[in-house]
Structure 1
Amino acid sequence: MEQCDSLSSFSPFELRMLIRAGDPRIKTTTGLAYGFQQANVVVLPSLLSKDFEEFCRNNVAPLPLLYVSKPGEMTCKPLAQHADIRTDISQYCVYENGKLLKTVSSLNAYTSSLKDMVCFYLGCSFGFEGKLKEAGVPMRNVEQRKNVSMYRTSVSCVPAGVFHCPLVVTMRHVPAEMLDTVVEVTHLNPLAHGAPVHIGDPNLLGIQDLSRPNYGDAVNQQPGDVPVFWACGVTSLEAVLSSKPALAFSHSPGCMFLTDLPDSSSSSPSSVYLDPHLTPLSFKLSQSPLLYSLASKRAVHKIRQLENIIREDPGERGISAIFLKDELLLSCLALSHAFSVLITTGFPTHYMHNPPDETDGPPGAFAMANMLLSLGKRVTMVTDQRCLQLNQDIMNEAVSSGVLAAPIPLVTFEDNSPDSALNFLCHHGDITKPRYDHLVAIERSGRAADGNYYNMRGVNIKHMVDPIDNLFIAAKDIPGILTTGIGDGGNELGMGKLKERVKSRMPKGELIACDVAADYAVTCGVSNWGGYAVACGLFLLQSCSSHQRYLQKGLGLNQEKTQTQRSAALPSVDKEESFLSTLMRFGIRSGKTGNLAMEVDGMTFHPTHSDLIARLLHATHST
């Protein structure tokens, strides 16, 4: 790449002519033809063409089709004038029976074989580098005069016919403060692989060592950079290797076909890519492992609307004093990435009654569980030993009444050794094998700095509470487990993230403030509302094409569940009223008053809670 600077002003046509003439200055095409699409190229026997085209349709992020030739067609007029696929790539790969035989600078010697072969032109991430440069984003590989880094992942593409292979990704180091710019620019170019499919720890893609790419060159990271990964057209080469055709050809990685198409081209200019409300934004979810997520501006705006609704304070507890913006959004994003979620609730504030628990907590917990189940997550609930049978009976009622779609495991935690929490959270106590990747506490009594558990009146209820807090403490040292706490007073498990605010701004804060922090602390006027909002937020993310594409790495988006089916998992006024009636029948009382009535925290279900649920649903479904 040493001499590519002198070629930076050349048009794609001029560069193709230089390549055709064997110009030694052009080794790879990274840094060339800014402003134009570049293409991966695969040439296959005609009898495999239908399978491979389906494979591309199934895996559109790594394999965006620009053009499919007719058998024996050496040109590609829709992409480039006066082109010849036999000569216009600087280096080709030749495969026989699924093995790379050699690399050549021309396919002229194979002209007779090409007459019964089909050429696939696929978008390339080099096609968005020009726009990134215009936006001021440093291209580390270009700066270092290296080919881009490409890695084989542990993520499987969706198969079609004889074609199956792992996803290949390109990686570029990007300054953290420029992530949103990079995401937006690349999102607008779906024919060049679109937005990233992963941002953060490469191990989450099965990439063990960034210094050892499978293709291309290792590129040095600069201080403040974050590794960003895009689906890569070299996936097509892996597909060729796996299908073992008698003869096939491709470009050599980094040696692309230069088209005359502007890099902002889209197969459908009026598509979602041009709707500014659907532009993705990036959010950091965790540091260990480093993980970012994406969601559209529209989904983010709606979840922030939900957060504003639940932070209302009709009980006048002063909850706004400990509110942190976007904790609901970050929790929903993290839960959307989770596979296995552990939920806990239970606040025995009525220590003189049997049962001592309150109506705030279980409804929100079950609403979250129901939505998580609908999304295919594994869900478990952990509860106190004293109320295990009670909660099992309540769950059975919730399932029979339709509040919960299916029963979920209900377990207890006993702290009988220093490793109890570790063994509970991880298989055989191995931190590389966690059973859960997200813990959620909603209206769960939390341990204060002195080791006791207090209700809002400052009464110690430690004798009624199992040490489930220890699970949240242990999770801090287990990479891959994130935690959420949902509360309305500051004495709930997880609110330790806000303990200094609670101590200084909430009644009896110095005494009651929970000392155990969660990664995300969702504060709300009533804790149940936080659970309802999480369910609605997860629904919005399930409906967000940008987020779903990121979750699934751009591979075969699952459309099995319809919007109507997902809507059925949302909380509703009828379901929540039914569940509150169930809690009453089991003797569960309102938190503030102790009344055995249709109320939560001293506020009657109608109109306070029913109206709020209706508002959450309206915000969720509104356009």
Structure 2
Amino acid sequence: MGEFRNLKCLSPAEVRLLISKKDSTISITAALAKGYCHASVIILPDCLANDFEAFCHRNPAPLPLIYRSQLGETSCPPLSRHTDIRTDLSQYYVYEDGRLVKTVSNLHSYTRQTSIQSEQHAEQHSHRWSDMVCFYLGCNSSFAGRLKNVGVPVRNMEQGRNTSMYKTGVSCVPVGVFSCPLVVTMCPVPPDVLDVAVEETYSNPLGHGAPVHIGDPALLGIMDLSTPDYGERPELQPGDVPVFWASGMTAIEAILNSKPSLAISNSPDCMFLTDIPASSSSTITPPTESMAPSYSKPNSEQAPLCFLVSHNPLLYSLACQRVVARIRELEMIIGEDPGQRGIRALFVQDELLHSCLALSHSTSVAITTGFPTHYMHSPPDETDGPPGAIAMATMLLSLGKQVTMVTDKRALEMNQAIIDEAVKTGVLKSTIPLITFDDNDPDAALHFLCHHGDSSKPRYDHLVAIERSGRAEDGNYYNMREVNIKHLVDPIDELFIAAKNIPGITTTGIGDGGNELGMGKLKEKVKSLMPKGSLIACEVPADHAIVAGVSNWGGYAVACGLFLLHTCPTHQRYLKKGLGVERTPSREQLQDWTANLPSVNKEETFLSTLVRFGIRSGKTGHLAMEVDGLTFHPTHSGIINRLLDVTLAASSENH
């Protein structure tokens, strides 16, 4: 027993020597050579080696490739001295045609010509060691220790259980014969230490890096946490959040799926012990540039911060510190109040950030706008709202989202003509559906929002209202002069009310007075702090309420925030679950996204279109190039340029 206790004090080389001599005291290696990198090992025939290397580079989170051996090489110069991979693992798994067929304690038999017995395919199973290539992959063997060291409880260790791992419904990027689902490791984490867990694992890219998903396992295609595919059933404590990291077991799934005639791996508890200190794992340099690992070295400014995006289903998202800071700058700019309406009193930090994160995760967005404040004119609409709505729509389209506009029946024909003109003049990337909502039965909103009225099949995953007249406590709709304009407004509020009870639909409201749809989230502030607030305050809340000096500015900031998130490598890695190598956009993508940002020229063009359609400034009623009584130049053009300066400067920093 004394010898066993001393094993933990031995160096990796000393442990490898004992393993090679088949010392009976060593069965698993997880607790040995602490402070040094461990690696998993995959050994394949040469004919599959190039495809597997490419597969690793295309799926870097689950398969962080450290070293690919030369053909028939038994040593591993960059990772350790005096190594013979045929003997330096305590247990090997041998696979034939995608089936685990045996466990062996060394691989000396593969040094000689070996024919694996198969009546029908014997000629396909003949391999020499000189035909084989070894792949060394980073692993998270120090995962639990790292989390414990920074105060994050490790539930499976507390419960004396093995880590839980699951096959997901997310497909790895296929290469050649290799394709398989992503496998993830799950660790329950209390919400107050999520940021700590994320940051600590981000700093260890060879240990699979930061989480690839935080929240509802069903969003990964995992329907039951109590039945892991590998490991043991976890026990979550009250309040724990399921956090998922990419797992090296993905490599085993790739072997099982591709069915190579021969493949060898380490057994899950018997890793290869390297001589590389864990503290320098992110700086391992491969012997040739062509074998460079497909991960980025940790960068403090790219370190992720964690934010709650949705309660139902539970979803958190990640974005890097630099981009978060820039989106907060955007939020401060749009919160300025040159019209002196006192709107700053309603400001809540990070509503813009949370909305942008939720929209980034969305696939189908419905946007509504329209505030018929000028009830004495035809049309009664104002110039605040449509420009911000179109700015968001064109950026969402550029990012590959589906976008639908929802409008009042009275304004359908006019708004269709405005959309057509926006496409023609290049303000809007492409045309989008324009629809109306009829509240003709109790389930109308449910059927509008969900396919066949089935709440498990929503058509949209995000609703956005910008400068949209919102229902007050008494059921009426008021402009800032306390005039009831209910007769000009369709009950689109019902969609936001219904969405609260439909899992998977998030809502955003953008306003500048407190009487706009979605501002019900700030109702008490509006009532107590805004002029005439007790009457005009909107009753209907949104999940995120973005306050701006002019609502259009909120739409511009959302477009800029989405651009920033899609140029953020940390956020992109999280969106893509650590799969694919395009963590930064291509030049063509970046050019397209940049072209679809709001600009002074585009917004001036669109405002002139609105004026030609007889749409007036909200505060003054002027049929002129102004919004809310503020002239386009210099006020609105100045805000647009400042938003762009922050956005494009941050984008260049990310690249």
- TM-score over 0.5 for the pair: yes
| Structure 1 residue corresponding to 2:511, chosen from 487, 490, 497 | 487
With over 3 angstroms needed to count, the CA separation of the structure-2 counterparts of 1:218 and 1:106, relative to structure 1, is farther
Partners of 2:375 and 2:5 lie apart in 1 by: 76
Q: 2:526 aligns with which of 502, 512, 515?
A: 502
Is the CA contact 2:57–2:581 (under 8 Å) kept in the aligned structure 1?
no
**What does residue 118 of structure 2 align with?**
none
Look up the equivalent residue of 1:591 and give its one-letter code.
G
**Shift in Å, 1:25:** 6.0
Contact 1:89 1:256 in 2 (8 A): yes
The residue number in structure 1 matching 2:637 is 610
Alignment partners' CA distance in 2, 1:223 and 1:272: 35
In the TM superposition, residue 61 of structure 1 has moved relative to its aligned partner by: 1.1
Residue 251 of structure 1 and its aligned partner are, at CA, apart by 2.0
Q: Which residue of 1 aligns with 2:225?
A: 210
**How far 1:22 sits from its partner (Å)?**
4.7
Query: Shift of residue 390 of structure 1?
Result: 0.5
Pair 1:134-2:161 in alignment? no
Conserved? CA contact 2:99–2:256, under 8 Å = yes
Match of 1:35 in 2: 35
User: Deviation string for 1:536-588 (max 9, x for gaps)?
Assistant: 00111111000001000111144444422221110000000000000000011
Residue 332 in structure 1 maps to residue 347 in structure 2: no
User: Counterparts of 1:19 and 1:224 in 2: how far apart (Å)?
Assistant: 42
The C-alpha deviation readout for 1:345-375, integer Å capped at 9, x for no partner, is 0001111111111000000000000100110
Within-5 A mapping of 1:260-279: 260-264=275-279, 265-267=281-283, 273-279=297-303
User: Separation in 2 of the partners of 1:105 and 1:194?
Assistant: 31
Are 1:255 and 2:282 matched, yes or no? no
Residue equivalent to 2:608: 581
The structural deviation recorded for 1:21 is: 4.8
Q: Secondary structure of 2:37's partner?
A: strand
Shift in Å at residue 5 of structure 1?
A: 8.1
CA contact (8 A) 2:283 2:297 kept: no
Query: Following the alignment from structure 1 to structure 2, what is the Cα–Cα distance between the partners of residues 31 and 322?
Result: 54
Cα separation, 2, equivalents of 1:305 and 1:517: 25
* 1:266-303 residue CA offsets vs partner (Å, 9 max, x unmatched): 2479x964432111111011111111100000000000
Structure 1: which 5+ residue stretches go unaligned?
A: none
Relative to structure 1, the CA distance from residue 390 to residue 193 in structure 2 (aligned partners, 3 Å threshold; closer, same or farther) is same
CA deviation map 1:155-188 (0-9, x unaligned)? 1111111111111111112221111112112112
Cα distance in 1 between the residues matched to 2:5 and 2:169: 36
Task: Quote the offset at 1:209 in angstroms.
Answer: 1.2
- Whether 2:348 is the aligned partner of 1:317: answer no
1:103 matched residue in structure 2? 103
Structure 1 residues 481 and 255: CA distance shift in structure 2, 3 A? farther
Instruction: Report the Cα distance in structure 2 between the residues aligned to 1:322 and 1:234, rounded to whole angstroms.
Output: 49
Q: Which residue does the alignment assign to 1:179?
A: 194
**Alpha-carbon deviations, 1:93-141, whole Å to 9, x = none?**
2211122223334333433333311111111122444433322222222
Q: Please state whether the residue corresponding to 2:141 is helix, strand or coil.
A: helix
- Higher deviation after alignment, 420-429 or 3-12: 3-12
8 Å Cα contact 2:42-2:135 kept in structure 1 = yes
Letter of the 1:608 partner, please give it. Answer: T
2:248 counterpart residue number: 233
Measure, in 1, the Cα distance between the counterparts of 2:4 and 2:195.
29
Q: Which position in structure 1 is the counterpart of 2:49?
A: 49
Q: CA deviation at 1:468?
A: 0.8
Structure 2 residue aligned with 1:60: 60
Contact kept in structure 1, 2:202 and 2:298, CA below 8 Å = no
Name the SS of the counterpart of 1:55 in structure 2. Answer: helix
Give 2:537's aligned residue: 513
The answer to whether the 8 Å contact 1:4/1:31 transfers is no
The answer to whether structure 1 residue 383 and structure 2 residue 410 are counterparts is no
Counterpart CA distance in 2 for 1:260 and 1:587 is 74
Q: Relative to 1, partners in 2 of residues 1:16 and 1:212: Cα closer, same or farther, differing over 3 Å? A: farther
Q: Matches of 2:227 and 2:408 in 1, distance apart?
A: 49
Using a 3 Å threshold, how does the CA distance of structure 1 residues 145 and 38 change in structure 2: closer, same or farther?
farther
Q: Does the C-alpha gap of structure 1 residues 427 and 5 become closer, same or farther in structure 2, counting only changes over 3 Å?
A: farther
Q: Report what 1:572 is aligned to.
A: 599
1:7 is displaced (CA, Å) by 5.1
Instruction: Find the aligned partners of 1:77 and 1:7 in 2 and give their Cα distance.
Output: 24
Structure 2 match to 1:452: 476
* CA distance in structure 1 between the aligned counterparts of 2:436 and 2:19, rounded to whole angstroms: 68
Which residue identity lines up with residue 11 of structure 1 in the other structure? Answer: S
Q: Matches of 2:19 and 2:522 in 1, distance apart?
A: 62
User: What letter is aligned with 2:329?
Assistant: Q
Q: 1:260 to 1:494 in 2, by over 3 A?
A: same
Answer with 278-287 or 293-302: which moved more: 278-287
- Residues 347-426 of structure 1: matches in 2 within 5 Å? 347-426=371-450
Q: Is the 8 A contact 1:36 1:258 kept in 2?
A: yes
How many pairs does the alignment contain?
621
Q: Secondary structure at the match of 2:235?
A: coil
Among 300, 311, 332, the alignment partner of 1:287 is: 311
Most deviating of 514-523 and 88-97? 88-97
- Aligned partner of 1:621 in structure 2 is 648
**TM-superposition CA deviations, 1:451-500 (whole Å, max 9, x none):** 11111111111111111111111111111111100000111111111001
Contact 1:441 1:486 in 2 (8 A): yes
Quickly say closer, same or farther: Cα 1:119–1:385, change in 2 above 3 A.
same
In the alignment, the residues of structure 1 paired with residue 368 and residue 269 of structure 2 have an alpha-carbon distance, to the nearest angstrom, of: 51
Q: Find 1:524's aligned residue among 548, 560, 566.
A: 548
C-alpha contact (below 8 Å) 2:406/2:434 kept by paired residues? yes
Q: Distance in 2 between matches of 1:609 and 1:4?
A: 73
SS at match of 2:368: strand
- Residue 23 of structure 1 and its aligned partner are, at CA, apart by 5.5
Note the aligned Cα RMSD (angstroms).
Answer: 2.0
Q: Which amino acid aligns with 2:188?
A: H
**What per-residue deviation string (whole Å, max 9, x for no partner) do you get for residues 486-524 of structure 1?**
000111111111001111111111111111111100001
1:85 aligned counterpart, secondary structure: coil
Give, in whole Å, the separation in 1 of the partners of 2:308 and 2:5: 36
- Which of these residues, 125, 145, 168, is aligned with residue 153 of structure 1? 168
Map residues 112-131 of structure 1 onto 2, 5 A cutoff: 112=112, 113-131=128-146
Match of 2:259 among 233, 241, 244: 244
Secondary structure of 1:106's partner? Answer: coil
8 Å CA contact 1:71, 1:118 repeated in 2? yes
